[in-house]
Amino acid sequence: MPKVKVPRKSTSVDMTAMCDVAFLLLTFFILTSKFRPDQPVVIDLPTARSQTKIEGPITISVDRDGHAYLSLATSEERLSALENLTERYGEQYPMLKTLTPAQKAQFSLIEMLGTPIEQLPQVLNLTGPQYKEYQKTQMKGIPTDSATNQLGPWLLSSRLANPKARVAIKGDKFSSVSGVQRVIEIFKQNDLYKFNLITSLEGAEPAPAAE
């Protein structure tokens, strides 16, 4: 009995649904991605061989000239730190009590703080382009000298805002040793003896390294 030959037909796959899913995913990632903001102070990190991920740190950046800058992870922590600073040091810095809700909202958007407390009201009144110009030409960090040490109060207020946050120093590899040493002295004055040093992993993209 002869074999019955089944006619061969080419397979047809409808790709319409897959194209729809691909464009939906692309749209989702575009709308939800948060681009890294421009850093007002460029820190050229030193390298290290070990790597440890640091979650939500309180970061003290030290530039090449030894100026110190404070960064907090979220806008809520920034507002809480500002409220703590006002409550504890309002008598010493009365301009903190005069900040308006609009100025406080503007403060919560600042990624890296490098302004003396006395200048906060004026700086928070600047518009977007004016503030960018201020960052480039006038922002010289938070005072850390013994006479007008303002980094200590900011550090204390920030730790009260998030007691579980890790504290890290992000120092430029060309910065003066004395600038980093001064920040460590302020840590000791505030009973902070455990902190991280942020570096780049050797042979890889910049990443936080072990303490």
pLDDT in tens, 138-147: 899 999 998 8
Q: Write out the residue range of the structural domain in which residue 160 sits.
A: 47-201
| Structure tokens given for 107 | 């403060």
Tell me what pLDDT residue 134 has: 92
Given a cut of 50, the residues of the chain with pLDDT beneath it are 206-211
Is residue 39 assigned to a domain? no
> How many domains does the chain fold into?
1
Is residue 195 assigned to a domain? yes
The DSSP output letter for 113 is B
Tell me what pLDDT residue 209 has: 45
d(CA 27, CA 88): 46
Is residue 12 assigned to a domain? no
Alpha helices in 33-173, H assignment, sequence order: 75-89, 101-107, 120-124, 128-137, 151-161
Is residue 164 assigned to a domain? yes
Is residue 4 assigned to a domain? no
The DSSP output letter for 143 is -
Helix 177-189 to helix 151-161 angle (10° resolution) is 60
Rounded to 5 degrees, what are φ and ψ at 167?
Answer: -105, 135
Q: Where are the beta strands (DSSP E) in the chain?
A: 47-48, 58-62, 68-71, 167-171, 196-197, 200-201
Is residue 56 assigned to a domain? yes
Q: Which residue has the tokens 């909202």?
A: 105
Question: Half-sphere exposure of residue 114, counting CA atoms within 13 Å on the CB side?
Answer: 24
Is residue 18 assigned to a domain? no
d(CA 42, CA 40): 7
Is residue 184 assigned to a domain? yes
Tell me what pLDDT residue 21 has: 77
Rounded to 5 degrees, what are φ and ψ at 62?
Answer: -120, 115
